[in-house]
Amino acid sequence: MRNRKQRGFPCTEEEKRKCLKNRTKRAGFPITGANSPSPDDSVFRMLAKTYSKNHAFMSDGITGCEQFPDGITNGASWYQLAGGMQDFNYVYSNCLELTLELSCCKYPPAEKLAQEWENNREALLKYIEAVHNGVKGVVIDAITEKPIPGAQISILGIGKDIISSSRGEYWRLTVPGKYSVVAKKKGYQTSPTIDVVVNKGDATILNFKLYPKDDTAAPGA
C-alpha cells in the first residue's frame, strides 16, 4: 500500500519531468498494473488511511502528478515492482510496511521543510499509535513456563502467520472485529482455538501455554 500527496510546494514542469523519469527507473515497469491485495489488505488500508486522513491534505487525493482516492493506492495498482523490501519483509518477517510518497518534487527546497513537518506531524503520531490495534501476548511452555520463540500465531481465514520473538512475545495487527486465534510450534501440541474481539485502539491481550507433544497432562490428551 502506498500513500500519495503533493500540495505543500508546487513543482516546476522540469522538476515533474525529472520526478517521473526517476520514478519509472525505480519501478522498472510502466506505471500501470493490477490490484494485488495481500492477506492483510484490510490492515494495510487501515494503516494507509490512518496516515492520509491525519495528514494536512493527503486524503484529498489530489497530487501534481496523479490522483488517488483518499490519498492511498495498492502498490501494484499504481506500478509493478519486482524484489521490493515491502513484499520481502511481509512474507519473511512480521513487518507490515507502507511507502509514503510526499511530493512530486524529488528535492524540495530547504525553506519548505518546516511546513512539511507540520503537514505530517499528526499523521506520524497517529500512525505510531495504530500499533495498538490487534492482538498481542506471549507464548510459553506450559510445563516450564519459559517463553517459546518461533511459535506460529494464526488467525483463521487470514493466510499470514505471525512468529513469536525470542522472548515468546507476539504482536498481531488487525482491524477491529471478531477473530479465532491459534498458536502452534513444532514439538508442541497445537493450542485450542480461542475467539477474541478486537476493538479500535485497544489491543486484546491473548497469552498461550503450549504443552509438549509427549505430555499426557495436557487438556484433551
Q: Specify the DSSP class assigned to residue 220.
A: T
CB 152 within 8 A of CB 163: yes
Distance CA(87)–CA(214), nearest Å, equals: 38
CA atoms within 13 A on the CB side of 164: 29
> Looking at per-residue confidence, does 28 or 200 come out higher?
200
Residue 187, pLDDT > 90, answer: yes
Average pLDDT, integer, range 189-210: 96
pLDDT digits (tens, 9 = 90+) for 135-153: 999 999 999 999 999 999 9
Where does residue 35 rank: exposed (0-12), middle (13-18), buried (19+ CB within 10 A)? exposed
Q: Specify the DSSP class assigned to residue 204.
A: E
pLDDT digits (tens, 9 = 90+) for 6-38: 334 444 444 444 433 333 222 222 233 477 788
CB 8 within 8 A of CB 113: no
Question: So which residues are the catalytic ones?
Answer: 101
The DSSP line for 2-16 is: EEE---SSPPPHHHH
Best CA proximity match to 31, nearest among 79, 82, 101 = 79
Q: How many residues does the chain have?
A: 221
Map grid coordinates 487438556 to a residue. 219
